[in-house]
């Protein structure tokens, strides 16, 4: 019998309190115990049952029930839920293909595990600001119907200094218990080259603990690290991740697509998009979204849902000006 009396009691309590998350997490512990005892078929069956129960419980289009981190964890990470999907994003083909692979492997986890393989679950996102790294973590969470927990590493380190490693341990323990996407944002705070800065020893120790935790990170949860200073990262770090995804500034065509997507619902029939390609150079996805929003608001407050080229060009020029301010 894989489930102990304690497991059964915990399952009943979770059920009585309507705490789905606790319920599934105990069930996962039972699966893990079965696997350790050599009942791998049973372990796979339990995981599959949990997956299908979750899929039924969480309507694809509805809100994801809120899981709030408790106790000390609550001060280390922020829980977030988003409705953004990968299809809402403008992504380079290779980036999209990598992200689709993550989703596919996570969804087919049980099948992979049956043969002793684990799905991609340690991911490094690297690229310039405003290209969609944080948004990607939110979209992956949404696609997999998982909560998103964000950890700002720079904040963590400056707040806890010498205790940072023990805080990291707490977070990775949570990742083993609560299936979710854990986004370590501002990851370069950890990965700074050994030669940089003065408190190198401390940064190095924290980084080493992170890597140890990462090695043992359970494949149920996704651990995502995001950085926009790739050159600052220690090379040895890259191979510790299952997947490294590189984000680039948008091409002119992608830039136009970002504008068009943000203006869905507005009347853009009069816009000659080809004329805008010269105006989007150097702007990030995030800046383009802001420009589109600004043009749309101006149109709406001017009493119209009609966007013309002039409005868009002005908004793009403003963004360029801000850049050089």
To ligand ATP, the closest distance from the beta carbon of 17 in angstroms equals 35
Residue selected from 59, 65, 129, 197 as contacting ligand ATP according to rule CB under 6 A: 129
Q: Which contacts of 262-266 are long-range, i.e. CB under 8 A and separated by 24 or more positions?
A: 262/288, 262/289, 262/292, 262/293, 262/296, 263/292, 263/295, 263/296, 263/307, 265/305, 266/296, 266/299, 266/305, 266/306, 266/307
CA distance 306 to 29: 56
Q: Work out whether 258 is an interface residue with ligand ATP (CB under 6 A).
A: yes
Contact 295, 315 (CB under 8 A): yes
Residue found under tokens 């995804």: 245
To Mg ion, the closest distance from the beta carbon of 125 in angstroms equals 9
Residue selected from 23, 46, 113, 132 as contacting ligand ATP according to rule CB under 6 A: 132
Q: Work out whether 227 is an interface residue with Mg ion (CB under 5 A).
A: no
Q: Work out whether 286 is an interface residue with ligand ATP (CB under 6 A).
A: yes
* CA dihedral of residues 129, 131, 137, 143 (deg, nearest 10): 170
Site for Mg ion in 118-147 (CB under 5 A): 133-134
Choose from ligand ATP, Mg ion, none: what does 89 bind? Cβ within 5-8 Å by kind. ligand ATP
Choose from ligand ATP, Mg ion, none: what does 259 bind? Cβ within 5-8 Å by kind. none
CB closer to ligand ATP, 276 vs 286: 286
CA distance 8 to 184: 34
Beta strands in 54-166 (DSSP E): 78-80, 122-126, 148-152
Beta strands in 166-314 (DSSP E): 181-185, 222-227, 243-246
Residue selected from 44, 135, 207, 312 as contacting ligand ATP according to rule CB under 6 A: 135
Choose from ligand ATP, Mg ion, none: what does 178 bind? Cβ within 5-8 Å by kind. none
Q: Work out whether 183 is an interface residue with ligand ATP (CB under 6 A).
A: no
In the complex, the residues that contact ligand ATP under the rule CB under 6 A are 89-91, 129-135, 226, 228, 258, 285-286, 289
In the complex, the residues that contact Mg ion under the rule CB under 5 A are 133-134
């Amino acid at each position: 019998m894989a489930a102990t009396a304690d497991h059964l009691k915990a399952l009943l309590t979770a059920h009585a309190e309507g705490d789905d998350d606790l319920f599934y997490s105990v069930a996962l512990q039972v699966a893990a115990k079965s696997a350790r005892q050599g009942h791998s078929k049973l372990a796979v069956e339990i995981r599959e049952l949990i997956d299908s129960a979750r899929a039924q419980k969480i309507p694809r289009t509805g809100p994801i029930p809120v899981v709030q981190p408790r106790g000390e964890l609550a001060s280390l990470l922020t829980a977030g839920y988003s409705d953004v999907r990968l299809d809402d994003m403008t992504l380079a083909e290779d980036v999209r293909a990598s992200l689709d692979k993550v989703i596919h492997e996570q969804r087919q986890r049980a099948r992979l595990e049956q043969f002793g393989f684990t799905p991609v679950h340690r991911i490094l996102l690297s690229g310039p600001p405003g290209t969609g790294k944080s948004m990607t973590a939110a979209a992956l969470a949404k696609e997999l119907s998982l909560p998103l927990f964000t950890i700002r590493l720079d904040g963590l380190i400056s707040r806890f200094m010498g205790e940072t490693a023990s805080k990291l341990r707490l977070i990775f323990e949570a990742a083993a218990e609560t299936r979710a996407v854990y986004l370590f944002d501002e990851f370069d705070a950890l990965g700074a080259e050994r030669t940089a800065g003065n408190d190198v020893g401390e940064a190095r120790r924290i980084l080493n603990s992170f890597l140890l935790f990462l090695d043992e990170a359970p494949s149920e949860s996704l651990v995502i690290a995001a950085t926009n200073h790739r050159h600052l990262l220690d090379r040895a770090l890259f191979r510790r991740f299952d997947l490294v995804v590189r984000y680039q500034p948008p091409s002119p065509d992608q830039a136009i697509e970002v504008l068009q997507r943000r203006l869905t619902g507005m009347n853009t029939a009069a816009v000659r998009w080809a004329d805008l390609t010269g105006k989007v150079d150097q702007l990030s996805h995030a800046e383009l979204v802001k420009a589109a929003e600004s043009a749309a608001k101006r149109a709406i407050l001017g009493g119209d849902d009609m966007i013309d080229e002039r409005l868009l060009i002005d908004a793009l020029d403003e963004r360029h000006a801000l850049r050089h301010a």
